[in-house]
Amino acid sequence: MDLNDLSSDTTSLSWNSRSSLSTRQSHPVQTNVKTGEKLRPNLFVANPQIRKLSKEMAIPSSSAYLFLLSFFTLSLFLAISTAESESELELVADLRALQSESKSGVIHLDDRTIAKFLTSPKTPRPYSILIFFDATQLHDKTELHLRELRQEFTLVASSFITNHNNSNTKLFFADIEFRESQSSFHLFGVNSLPHIRLVGPTAKSLKDESEQMDQGDFSRLAESMAEFVESRTKLTVGPIHRPPILSKTQMGLIVALLLISSPFIAKKIFAGETLLHEPKIWLCGAVFIYFFSVSGAMHNIIRKMPMFLVDRNDPNKLIFFYQGSGMQLGAEGFAVGFLYTIVGLLLAFVTHLLVYVKNAKAKRVAMVFAICVSFWAVQKVIFLDNWKTGYGIHGFWPSSWN
């Protein structure tokens, strides 16, 4: 074994052993291997007893030196090999410890731990790691759905762990953040998010030999992640346990409340005293439903559109109105719905309520105000509609008039 090789191996080994073997002290290799080259001078200079011994034992000093060297290399070799197999188990134990420490079983890795668990150990490693690449600064971009995917990833991880009764050592779930560990991102060659990679036991080069999940598979969230895991690692994830919307106790409480209160409610309905009998409540409810539907709120809910977008060119400006038919932003929809409702209600107000006002001047002012506001609102909506869709609506005059 060449000394250079030895030094390189042992430096990496010393790094490993320094982190995981904190309970071990005075490892015979440790102190000697800080700088491997110092082995020989130590022997010659700092151990006069050995020289004495060799002299007393009447062994020639060179052979003593050779004997000691071979002894040390042999012990080194043994130590390394046992340390290697030992440290594999230690790594797995470390991973399991990290997993149990973390919330819901997703281990948070950074540059250091990536090196410890992935780049340093020799292949074949006894485990594979499924890594979710994240970046907190991009959480606000809704088209990436990073928060949602992260939650789904957590669900897959926790389902996997519970389905294997906490005795799993083959597959670990981890995530890694961009700001903390930029070099790891570079190591993996990740430059777009969302990104999920599976690092198998035999993958040497993290960039080329780790398996990436397809972009198109993200749409089915946890189910597609589970399928990816199962197809590449031949380990079953099992059923995914999603938390129900209402827990059992909440549901039970609601049902009990309903049952208890139903006779009282029925009696009140027959007596005609409830809030439901007031027509004004129904009117407000009706106008609200109308406002909700017409402003395209269902579209926003289904497509999960944000209230406003940040202008790409100028980060300080906010875009409230989306140009282009068929899609809309949240605030835009509500603004337009509000304008519709205002005009309709003003018309009703003028026709019915204004008649009761006694003061003639006030009536006139109110009517003029209503007319102006309605006119402005209608014009605004028409202008917005033309700007958004780009249609130029015109009448059809006979061509001989042009």
Contacts with other proteins, residue ranges (CB under 8 A): 220, 262-263, 266-267, 269-270, 272, 276-277, 279, 282-283, 286-287, 289-290, 292-299, 301-303, 325-328, 332-333, 336-337, 340-341, 343-345, 347-348, 351-352, 360, 363-364, 367, 371, 377-378, 381, 385, 388-389, 391, 393-396
Q: Closer to other proteins at the Cβ: 179 or 267?
A: 267
Closest distance to other proteins from the beta carbon of 300 (Å): 8
CA 341 to chain CA centroid, Å, is: 40
* C-alpha dihedral (339, 345, 351, 352), degrees to nearest 10: -160
Nearest alpha carbon to residue 131 among 215, 197, 218, 204: 197
Please tell me the distance from the alpha carbon of residue 140 to that of residue 333, in angstroms, as a whole number: 21
Q: Closer to other proteins at the Cβ: 15 or 340?
A: 340
Closest distance to other proteins from the beta carbon of 162 (Å): 23
> Which two tokens mark 216?
């198109």
Left, alpha or beta for 326 (phi > 0: left; psi -120 to 50: alpha)?
left
Closest distance to other proteins from the beta carbon of 194 (Å): 18
Backbone angles phi, psi at 315, to 5 degrees: -65, -15
Q: Closer to other proteins at the Cβ: 38 or 147?
A: 147
Q: Closer to other proteins at the Cβ: 97 or 357?
A: 357
> Which two tokens mark 170?
């083959």
**DSSP strand pairing (195-199 vs 309-310):** unpaired
Q: Closer to other proteins at the Cβ: 236 or 325?
A: 325
**DSSP strand pairing (171-177 vs 106-109):** parallel
SS3 state of residue 42:
helix
Closest distance to other proteins from the beta carbon of 358 (Å): 11
> Which two tokens mark 120?
């340093």
> Which two tokens mark 160?
């996997």
Please tell me the distance from the alpha carbon of residue 337 to that of residue 291, in angstroms, as a whole number: 5
N-term to C-term CA, the chain: 98
Q: Closer to other proteins at the Cβ: 263 or 315?
A: 263
Q: Closer to other proteins at the Cβ: 47 or 293?
A: 293
Closest distance to other proteins from the beta carbon of 336 (Å): 5
> Which two tokens mark 66?
């050779």
Q: Under a CB-based contact definition with an 8 Å cutoff, are residues 207 and 146 in contact?
A: no
Closest distance to other proteins from the beta carbon of 318 (Å): 19
> Which two tokens mark 139?
């959480």
Closest distance to other proteins from the beta carbon of 211 (Å): 21
Q: Closer to other proteins at the Cβ: 23 or 397?
A: 397
Closest distance to other proteins from the beta carbon of 393 (Å): 5
Torsional sign, CA 167, 170, 171, 174: positive
DSSP 125: P
**Residue bearing tokens 């150990």:** 121
Closest distance to other proteins from the beta carbon of 366 (Å): 12
Q: Closer to other proteins at the Cβ: 122 or 280?
A: 280
